[in-house]
Amino acid sequence: MKKLLIIGGVIIALFVLIVVLNNQSNKQKLKDNPYGNKELQASTINLLGNENYSNIVLPDALMEKIKSGEPVTAYFFSPECPFCMKMTPKLMPIAKEMGIHVYQYNLLEFKEEAAPYGITGWPALIQYEDGKEVGRIVGLPEEPEKAIEEFLKEYTGK
């Protein structure tokens, strides 16, 4: 019985240690995150530091960019969407190679603020010109790389 209590104590201590280390890791990730002081979901925290998610835009900043009339390529995603997790690693290298800045909007964190964009499915890649939407891809295309390249060439001219 004594051995069982010792083993149980060790297991509990290990779980506590894992929780503490995880919290420390999350605090480090949150230190200079692009979301500011917002309380973040765990799946968003897990993406912090990932190079494919380095162009995060906040709702007000995206709206301001679009209203300015300059061309804007926006990508609406959720860290909990399996299709988004497949699309993003394909989209971002292509955009970088083409010299296109893609603003990444996290729907998990800012879903209510996304209402003006009419997002009903994701991932969604949208091009804006003169403050208006001119093109949109929703979901994971059958051939994502080809669809992304064609979309970006058509709407950005690059």
pLDDT score, position 17: 56
104 - beta bridge partners?
Answer: 56, 75
pLDDT score, position 55: 97
- H or E stretch covering 119: none
pLDDT score, position 11: 72
**Spatial contact of 125 and 73, defined as CB atoms under 8 Å apart:** yes
**Spatial contact of 69 and 39, defined as CB atoms under 8 Å apart:** no
Residue 101: phi, psi to the nearest 5?
-85, 125
pLDDT score, position 24: 54
| 52-156 fold | Glutaredoxin (3.40.30)
pLDDT score, position 2: 76
- H or E stretch covering 145: helix 144-156
Domain boundaries, the chain: 2-44, 52-156
Dist CA 68 CA 75 (whole Å): 18
Q: Taking the mean position of all CA atoms in its chain, how far away is CA 28?
A: 19
pLDDT score, position 10: 64
Strands of 70-110 (E only): list them: 72-77, 102-106
What average pLDDT values come out for the chain (158 residues) when binned by 10 residues?
Answer: 71 63 54 80 91 96 96 98 97 97 97 93 97 96 96 90
